[in-house]
Amino acid sequence: MPSTAPRLWIVATPLGNPGDLSPRASAVLAGADLVLAEDTRRAARLFRECGIEVHRLLSFYDHNEAERQEQVLRALRDGQTVALVSDAGTPLLADPGYRLVRACRKEGLPVSPLPGPSAPVAALSAAGLPPLPHSFLGFLPRDASGRDALFTAFAHVPGSLIFFERKDRLKESLTQAARLLGPREVAICRELTKEHEEFILTRLEHSASLPDDLLGEITVVVGPPEQVERSPENDVLALLRQEAEDGGKPRQVARRVQEQVRGWSVKEIYALLTSPQGSPHNH
């Protein structure tokens, strides 16, 4: 049974199958004085399906988290019990709530997790790719340059990478990942726990052949770096001189060279290009 002491509960909710809501989660949600939800209509629909009557439901999402925070803290100080849910899965992993939890910790207000469904964990458990170590990247940046920066930062990090991506950007993002992360296995995990759940196992370098009409919520698991022989630095320097003659900004030259070598990131090649030994004027 849930504790009767007032606190903030971080409650995991189903990814798509209402049967995954635990009895303990149901009891906490029904007993809470206030339930915070990213989308109150979606949350209300889940509660109806699960036969839960909540006392009070309040929206809590990215754009109102700051203004709602003091109201929630005041309720907790007054001895009320508050439950936080996201649209699906475990709150905070890629959803609002971190600032609220941090504020509670600073004030000494109790916070308890109520574990349950989690899309990254569900995907990793059934994808068949190495689970340890792994890094969860959340939702990928919307812009190509942001994704470039993220993939470059994790290109040499050991272990599998997990992230969320919208279906209309999936192929473009995976093509970028293939260029920056190198050849790797990848699992496209679609509609987890739902009727049309699907796991597509392929390779990053083959992602252009993925269907264009993939629907639903998508979690991607990229396998760990594979042992790829790194192109010798002298070969990279020779290509840099050749590509520099064809013109373009340094970063464009670095990107063209990166597509022709193995084991080098655009960032590393750019650093080489802008170093004394890589400058075309020195050769």
Report the CATH number that the domain containing residue 94 is assigned in CATH.
3.40.1010.10
Whether residue 71 sits in one domain with residue 56 = yes
Question: From CA 56, how far away is CA 280, in angstroms rounded?
Answer: 67
Instruction: List residues bridging with 247 in a β-sheet.
Output: none
Q: Which pLDDT band, with edges at 50, 70 and 90, does 243 fall under? A: confident
Residue 227 in any domain: the answer is no
Whether residue 105 sits in one domain with residue 145 = no
Residue 77 in any domain: the answer is yes
Residue 26 in any domain: the answer is yes
Whether residue 124 sits in one domain with residue 113 = no
Q: Evaluate if residue 165 carries a pLDDT over 60.
A: yes
Once rounded to an integer, what is the mean pLDDT over residues 194-211?
Answer: 92
The letter for the amino acid at 269 is: I
Question: From CA 140, how far away is CA 78, in angstroms rounded?
Answer: 39
What pLDDT digit, counting tens, does each position of 92-136 carry? 988 889 999 999 999 999 999 999 999 999 999 999 999 999 999
Question: From CA 171, how far away is CA 82, in angstroms rounded?
Answer: 40
Question: From CA 219, how far away is CA 166, in angstroms rounded?
Answer: 9
Q: Evaluate if residue 187 carries a pLDDT over 50.
A: yes
Instruction: List residues bridging with 185 in a β-sheet.
Output: 203
In terms of residue numbers, what domain contains 51?
8-117
Is-cis flag, bond preceding 250, omega within 30?
no
Whether residue 85 sits in one domain with residue 49 = yes
* Residue 3 exposed, middle or buried by CB count within 10 Å (0-12, 13-18, 19+): exposed
Please give the pLDDT value at position 279.
Answer: 59
Question: From CA 155, how far away is CA 189, in angstroms rounded?
Answer: 21
Residue 2 in any domain: the answer is no
Residue 3 in any domain: the answer is no
Please give the pLDDT value at position 283.
Answer: 44
> Which of 222, 248, 266 lies at the terminal end of a domain, its last residue?
222
CA 30 to chain centre: 30
Q: Which helix (H) or strand (E) holds 11?
A: strand 8-11
Residue 87 in any domain: the answer is yes
The letter for the amino acid at 9 is: W
Report the CATH number that the domain containing residue 128 is assigned in CATH.
3.30.950.10
Q: What are phi and psi of 168, to 5 degrees?
A: -80, -10
- Ramachandran region of residue 40, left (φ > 0), alpha (ψ -120 to 50) or beta? alpha
Q: Evaluate if residue 262 carries a pLDDT over 80.
A: no
Residue 92 in any domain: the answer is yes
Whether residue 111 sits in one domain with residue 16 = yes
* 3-class secondary structure, 60: coil
- Contact assessment for residue 35 and residue 29, using Cβ atoms and an 8 Å cutoff: yes
pTM of the model: 0.77
Whether residue 147 sits in one domain with residue 72 = no
Residue 103 in any domain: the answer is yes
Rounded to the nearest integer, the mean pLDDT of the chain is: 90
Whether residue 255 sits in one domain with residue 164 = no
Question: From CA 153, how far away is CA 29, in angstroms rounded?
Answer: 39
DSSP 91: T
Task: Lowest mean pLDDT of 18-27, 38-47, 62-71, 160-169, name the range.
Answer: 62-71
3-state helix, strand, coil in the chain (%, to 5): 40, 15, 40
What is the count of structural domains for the chain? 3
Whether residue 61 sits in one domain with residue 91 = yes
